[in-house]
Chains A and B, each alone.
Chain A
């Protein structure tokens, strides 16, 4: 444990990413020299900022195959998801008050859906299969004439699984239902094309793709046109869908991050995938009774979510203080509940308590992963030696056969 104390290792790329230095360089001039308000129409300071914003808008549009006119800047994917769900339902809800989403969506989608329910809208929460993927037949069966919107995320933040977007898009388009996709974890990690995949709205985050925090975007399709009711009103910026002065430096950063991701995705993914497989193999070679949560094939390169049976996740994290990984998602790790996502997959509750999410990204090295695997395995072995459940398992006692007093 002690030899790692000097240098912490960051393996939590699904929580956030460092801003790429190239992105920081692109942003810097827009804090001071080029500080204009992009909405100032009558002087060069404004024009300069507007040019930068429009270049970035094009860069964001390009990575998802959209037109720049379809990109609305927001403060991040949480706001984008709020705008997509509430904005669409409030516009179309009188005739079509039904929304479909899944039980494993990010909290900001689930919470927006709950708020809509409280206002009288109808929401269907689709279950997912054991591998984390949506059952397309269940989706088809859930769509009714009253359904306005289907909201399903592209890549899962906890378990990294990639949903069958193209198939979902086909189903939605055929039934005349809009398809919103939370792509916060997907942009720059998997190829996305909103036309090919028939996606009508897509949420994008800056800080998950080596861009700055506090910036995101929502793609809103123009043909066929999708209308949303603005959730933030004011000066009518962003075609009336999102008021507020555009934060030029952040937007430039998001654009640059998309540009880099688009150019380097193939190469970067191959490298990260190799590191991930290497890491998983090392865990499997050294430890028995470990389980990968979420589909192994349909999975983003940089995500491992592993249950280390018989070892409680929080105590494991405590023993590997210098390795930044997460147990459950960062948003819920303060609570003592096991992850709602793992429970939705049907992962046994005792296994759900034993999971770690390991996120590999642009700046991760093999040496860091070697150190992390060694430290995690050492700690798992130490904790298993003091785990009564491990002891019982070694004695051949089935833990499920015991009547536990749940508290």
Chain B
């Protein structure tokens, strides 16, 4: 399978690998996927008092496309508001990385992961779910 240069770059030099303390109130954590399915993504956002995503980190168990998708989305969400980050579509990730059809699910997982992280942050901070919804 031939992968795009962007995908390979994200796989070989993944951005924002790591973890925040998930107990901090400013941190939202999304854990999606399942080991039995061959991919698990943990995506974390650190949100400022103004509701801006200041930093993002990920850890992913999965194929190169899953690693690249999570790396890319951590780059994209930084500096965005929660609402903006929640509006990122998997198709944008798939297009940017030129994911082959069998790997589209990796981009869906990345979208799910950011939504889950936002939802976790909102729950912690007593905010209504609607804010993260589309």
Q: Is A318 engaged at the interface, CB distance under 8 Å to the other chain? A: yes
Q: Which of B27-65 contact A (CB under 8 A)?
A: 31-42, 58-64
Contact (A315, B36) CB under 8 Å given A386-B60, A391-B59: no
Contact call B35/A349, Cβ cutoff below 8 A: yes
Contact call B64/A315, Cβ cutoff below 8 A: yes
With beta carbons under 8 angstroms apart, the residue of B35, B37, B105 that contacts A399 is B35
Residue tally, chain A, CB below 8 Å to B: 27
Q: Is A226 engaged at the interface, CB distance under 8 Å to the other chain? A: no
Partner-A contacts on B (CB < 8 A): 3, 11-12, 14, 17, 19, 31-42, 58-64, 66-67, 102, 105, 109
Contact call A389/B36, Cβ cutoff below 8 A: no
Query: Which among A319, A386, A399 has the greatest number of chain B C-beta atoms within 10 A?
Result: A386
Contact call B61/A388, Cβ cutoff below 8 A: yes
Return the 9 tightest CB-CB contacts between A and B, nearest first. A350-B35, A404-B34, A349-B36, A388-B42, A388-B59, A314-B63, A353-B38, A318-B64, A387-B61
Contact (A407, B34) CB under 8 Å given A312-B39, A388-B41: yes
A348 to B37, CA, bound (A): 11
Other CB < 8 Å A-B pairs besides A318-B3, A336-B38, 8 of them?
A: A315-B67, A318-B63, A350-B38, A385-B17, A388-B59, A389-B35, A407-B33, A407-B37
Contact call A388/B34, Cβ cutoff below 8 A: no
With beta carbons under 8 angstroms apart, the residue of A1, A315, A388 that contacts B40 is A388
Contact call B61/A311, Cβ cutoff below 8 A: yes
Contact call B60/A387, Cβ cutoff below 8 A: yes
Contact (A406, B34) CB under 8 Å given A385-B17, A388-B41, A389-B40: yes
With beta carbons under 8 angstroms apart, the residue of A350, A388, A405 that contacts B60 is A388
With beta carbons under 8 angstroms apart, the residue of B36, B42, B58, B59 that contacts A350 is B36
Q: Which chain A residues border B11 with CB–CB below 8 Å?
A: 315, 318-319
With beta carbons under 8 angstroms apart, the residue of B12, B37, B105, B109 that contacts A406 is B37
Q: Which chain B residues border A391 with CB–CB below 8 Å?
A: 19, 42, 59
Contact call A404/B36, Cβ cutoff below 8 A: yes
Contact call B102/A315, Cβ cutoff below 8 A: no
Q: Is A310 engaged at the interface, CB distance under 8 Å to the other chain? A: yes
Q: Which chain B residues border A402 with CB–CB below 8 Å?
A: 31
Q: What are 17 A-B residue pairs whose CB atoms fall within 8 Å in the complex?
A: A1-B12, A314-B64, A315-B63, A315-B64, A318-B11, A319-B12, A336-B38, A385-B17, A386-B58, A386-B59, A386-B60, A388-B59, A389-B35, A399-B35, A406-B36, A406-B37, A407-B33
Contact call A312/B19, Cβ cutoff below 8 A: no
User: Chain B's nearest CB lies how many Å from the CB of A387?
Assistant: 4
Contact call B38/A312, Cβ cutoff below 8 A: yes
Q: Which of A320-336 contact B (CB under 8 A)?
A: 336
User: Chain B's nearest CB lies how many Å from the CB of A364?
Assistant: 26
Q: Which of A1-23 contact B (CB under 8 A)?
A: 1
User: Chain A's nearest CB lies how many Å from the CB of B130?
Assistant: 22
For A314, give the chain B residue with the smallest CB separation.
Answer: B63
Q: Is A160 engaged at the interface, CB distance under 8 Å to the other chain? A: no
A385 to B17, CA, bound (A): 8
Contact call B35/A405, Cβ cutoff below 8 A: no
Q: Is A247 engaged at the interface, CB distance under 8 Å to the other chain? A: no
Contact call A338/B67, Cβ cutoff below 8 A: no
Contact call A315/B35, Cβ cutoff below 8 A: no
Q: Which chain A residues border B34 with CB–CB below 8 Å?
A: 404-407
Contact call A404/B35, Cβ cutoff below 8 A: yes
Contact call B61/A312, Cβ cutoff below 8 A: yes
User: Chain A's nearest CB lies how many Å from the CB of B62?
Assistant: 5
